[in-house]
Amino acid sequence: MYAFQASIHARPEVVSMGDPLALAGQSICPLVFPREALATTAMPVSFEEAYDALRQIERLFCEPDGSFVWTSPQPGTHWQLDGNLYDRAGRLLLVDLQGSCPQEAFDRLLEPLGWPQAPLMFQLKREAVFLDEDAFRRLAEALGTQAG
């Protein structure tokens, strides 16, 4: 089970690895890149394309403003994701996302964002650092284990 509070962004072309940080008992190297890339690097889909694709996911309720909630099937392990889509210049710029979910559900949520073809990066909200996908998944799993 993953647990997190993060923003999902398109990964800029030029990134490097920063010095390791200790997060949730994990040694994680954050991504380093020019900050202006946050405003200029967008996902390969529009807000509308992501919105339409998310609406097709069973039990995911998405509002026209881009806010959404996705809950686990009942009965079973309870999980929930809450998020919001943000766009700029006709492209999806980022997705704010928090909650917990199994890996398979997380993968399903990333698909409407252009993943796995488009590389993504993940900003941890509290720590204000950016991680590549592998580091984010390791950390989200560790946090899910601690919460579980």
Number of domains the chain is built from: 1
> What pLDDT is stored for residue 13 in this prediction?
93
Residue entry with tokens 């909200």? 125
Q: CA-to-CA distance for 118 and 122, rounded, in angstroms?
A: 13
Q: What is the residue range of 64's domain?
A: 2-147
Q: Are 44 and 117 in contact (CB under 8 A)?
A: yes
Q: CA-to-CA distance for 71 and 58, rounded, in angstroms?
A: 9
Q: Are 10 and 118 in contact (CB under 8 A)?
A: yes
**What are the tens digits of pLDDT across the range 15-51?**
999 999 999 888 999 999 999 999 899 999 999 999 9
> What pLDDT is stored for residue 145 in this prediction?
87
pTM (2 d.p.): 0.94
